[in-house]
Amino acid sequence: MIREINYNEVFDAQIHFRTILDCMSRPGKVNHIGEIKIQTPGDWHPASALVAFALLNRDVTFYANNNNETVAEYLTVNTSAVPATVNKADFVFINGLDNGDILLNTNIGVLEYPEKSATVVIDVENIYDVPKDQTHEIILQGPGVETEKRVYVRNISDSILQALKEQNSEYPLGVDVILTDREGNIMCIPRSNNFSWN
């Protein structure tokens, strides 16, 4: 299994974290997460792996794409995080075309400790901040968004968006989402935001 050597766990992690923080603070904002050459297994997005490298370590658990064992092994080797079932995982990695049912099983925290909930990283084909063909238009409203923010995502299923809406229907309970695309762009939908899509 590949152990990434191009990744600097001090400085790369810091830069990528700041990118994620910026995206999470400004839902719908599309940021690029860097150009580090890493060799993720299969067609799993390098951007998702970089998000994982920035945030995961031995103290957290994760669930990878439909029990994808190669991704799981890759993450364990490179982050020391521990695989877990989807309902217990702190981080859940799925694909935008997966069935939304996986999302329905994610941990949404408890009222006293709503932060004890999953962060979901979803691989999608493309994320644009201008309208494009064959995309879902996602309209965000809430903290971090001045009035409303429109963002265009290719290859995210209605069932995932529907499931996400359901998981986040009882604020402050819910999950926080990071979308990554093939080009290395990321975009976030925290639970605090209301969204609709066309």
Partner 1 sequence: MIENKKFNTSYNYAFIDETTKKEIRRKLLKAVCIPGYQVPYSSPEMPIARGWGTGGLHVTLAIIGQSDVLKMIDQGSDASVNACNLRDFVHMTTDCATTFDTREATIIQTRHRITEEKLSDKQIMVFQVPQPEPLRRVERYEYKTRQMHAESDYAKMWLTLYEAYVKWGDVMQGAGYPVMVNGRYIMSPSPIPRWDVPNLNNSECLYLFGAGREKRLYAVPPHTKVEPLEFEDVKFHVEDFSNVKCESTGYNVAYMDEMYQDDGVTKKFYVNDSNFLDKLIEKEEVVQHSNKYIKKIKDALQ
Contact residues: partner 1, CB under 8 A? 9-11, 13-15, 17-18, 20-22, 24-26, 54-60, 90, 110-115, 117, 119, 142-146, 171-172, 176, 190-192
Distance (Å, whole) CA 168 – CA 51? 22
Least distance to partner 1, CB of residue 124, Å: 20
Identify which of 183, 153, 188, 151 has the alpha carbon closest to the alpha carbon of residue 168: 188
Query: What tokens does 147 get?
Result: 């009035």
43 vs 146 by CB, closer to partner 1: 146
Nearer to partner 1, 60 or 104 (CB): 60
Sort 174 into a burial class: Cβ within 10 Å, 0-12 / 13-18 / 19+.
buried
Q: How far is the CB of 136 from partner 1 (least distance, A)?
A: 22
- CB 26, min distance to partner 1, A: 6
In the bound complex, what is the minimum distance in angstroms from residue 73's beta carbon to partner 1? 20
Q: Which is nearer to partner 1, 46 or 144 (CB)?
A: 144
Give 3-state DSSP helix, strand, coil % of the chain, rounded to 5: 25, 25, 50
